[in-house]
Structure 1
């Protein structure tokens, strides 16, 4: 197979035309302080712009001189997208963005993928947020940056949850789990704890190739899937006759001394089903288990046949 020829950027212009330099002065540099103030209001940090005009304008159509207007258009599009991003992810979004864009700087440059790149996209390199344009399409789709910030921030290495996963936990799980816990406790005849085991499960899921093959957007659903598993357990307990049965309650509380149901993602299970229930009598914990490959499948089956394990 013939290897594709790597993209080679155009050489920078020796000097911008006077008209282009004036347009930068009038329509970009004159607005920089306003841009910086608006970004600071969103992020709480002082931002800088490092745009190499000679490199970028090498991709302009012949005779074009509106360089400043072009640069300002990209920045305006970025600020609009940043407003959307912060409105959605709030303080967590601000924290994650600032951690990834550690240099508090923005640049505009040609996409290193060349013709294979998108018309407009973004990434973070060496702590700098980069707006990337496709060769031949400089100035196109400047306002279409709303979907670019999250993947750019997610691409920067960090410990712990991705922003997508944290947002899912905060919005899809935390607000609803108390009602589910109360319902399960009533079915069990005493207060039970529900342990989503988020950190351990996230590490296992993130480290398994099968996870993304099964669901490429799994991080967006970490919270909702965990909630569905516990709702599935609630359904199964009701179905298996736990409500108001003193004999079942006594047996359950004798075996599950910690009074805890815990979700656990494991490399393999002992069944071909989408999930399995394991009672650890030594620890007094009930594990609700699945593999990365089957994460999120058939959540209403979670806890199936639990009664016979007691």
Structure 2
């Protein structure tokens, strides 16, 4: 398949087209920039190049290009609100770090015929609304699903936004009560449940599929819930001898989750005692 070649920029736009851009886009530009700047807490600009985008618009539709630019930006603003409603201050910080030039543009998708109608990415610090070369002006308000993957694709170090959100929303609020319950079951009031998030995140980051990030915190909580169930099933809560035996070997008072390449006998998960720590080992393959 031939590589897609973008069209050259138009040297000059017709007067009617320039008038529509002036009346329908330029007149709204300051307000649109202000809305985005307020949402992100930092000055933000629109860097749309009309001569690039108009090249893909049919000639009989070019006289309404100004309204199209405004619709694209309004679609982005709506999607940004959706993104920030879910990811809050962390999402804002990730966005601002990734979009380092604090600018938005509209560009043709270099995938050519294989490009979706609308999508987004970050290139050279600019957030780009991308359109299919044959579908410019379509689905302009359908941008909710594109901001997160665009931001996550920019290397940032540390946890991804999805993983961090999962820890905050599906782990931190529940782990305190669960830790207390397990402490009562094993007779160790100050028992430690160590999720080992950093090491496990790095171990899972080698996987080609990143879907695990969205449930990262919830899955760690589920393993500790599974531990609680096993301890109850084995009768620890009412058996002081079982409790005493565990307390002798669990010198660190710690249960710790560890992702490994391979478990013993290829089990899905297992418990391994090392240096006074009970590791809940999970295969990361």
Please give the range of the TM-score, normalised by the shorter of the 2 chains.
over 0.9
- Corresponding residue to 1:286 among 262, 278, 281: 278
* Correspondences of 1:173-252 after superposition (within 5 Å): 173-191=171-189, 192-209=191-208, 212=209, 216-252=210-246
Instruction: Give the CA deviation at 1:7.
Output: 0.5
The structure 2 residue matched to 1:73, chosen from 48, 64, 71, is 71
CA distance in 1, matches of 2:265, 2:117: 47
Provide the C-alpha distance between the structure 2 equivalents of 1:269 and 1:228, rounded to a whole number of angstroms: 19
- Asked if 2 retains the 8 angstrom alpha-carbon contact of 1:165 and 1:221, the reply is yes
Match of 1:10 in 2: 7
- Taking the aligned partners of 2:129 and 2:215, their CA distance within structure 1 comes to 28
Equivalent of 1:148 in 137, 146, 149 = 146
Contact 1:189 1:244 in 2 (8 A): no
- Tell me which stretches of 4 or more aligned residues in structure 1 moved more than 4 Å: none
- Deviation, 1:268, is 1.4
Contact preservation (8 Å) 1:266, 1:290? yes
How many Å separate the matches in 1 of 2:39 and 2:90? 12
Given candidates 97, 100, 117, the residue that maps to 1:102 is 100
Which aligned pairs between 1:25-40 and structure 2 lie closer than 5 A? 25-40=22-37
Distance 1:17 1:179 in 2: 68
- Name structure 2 gaps, 5 residues minimum: none
The correspondence for 1:268, drawn from 252, 259, 262, is 262
Aligned partners of 1:85 and 1:242: how far apart in 2? 45
TM-score (norm 1): 0.90
C-alpha distance in 2 between matches for 1:14 and 1:208:
46
Secondary structure, aligned partner of 1:129: strand
Structure 1: segments with no counterpart, 5+ residues = 294-310
Deviation string, structure 1 residues 171-221 (Cα, Å, up to 9, x no partner): 011111111111111111112110111110000000234xx2xxx511101
**Alpha-carbon deviations, 1:91-128, whole Å to 9, x = none?**
00000000110110000000010110000000001111
CA distance in structure 1 between the aligned counterparts of 2:161 and 2:14, rounded to whole angstroms: 43
Q: Report how far residue 143 of structure 1 moved.
A: 0.5
Whether the 8 Å contact between 1:262 and 1:286 is mirrored in structure 2 is yes
2:127 is matched with which residue? 129
When you count helix as a share of all residues, which structure comes out higher? 2
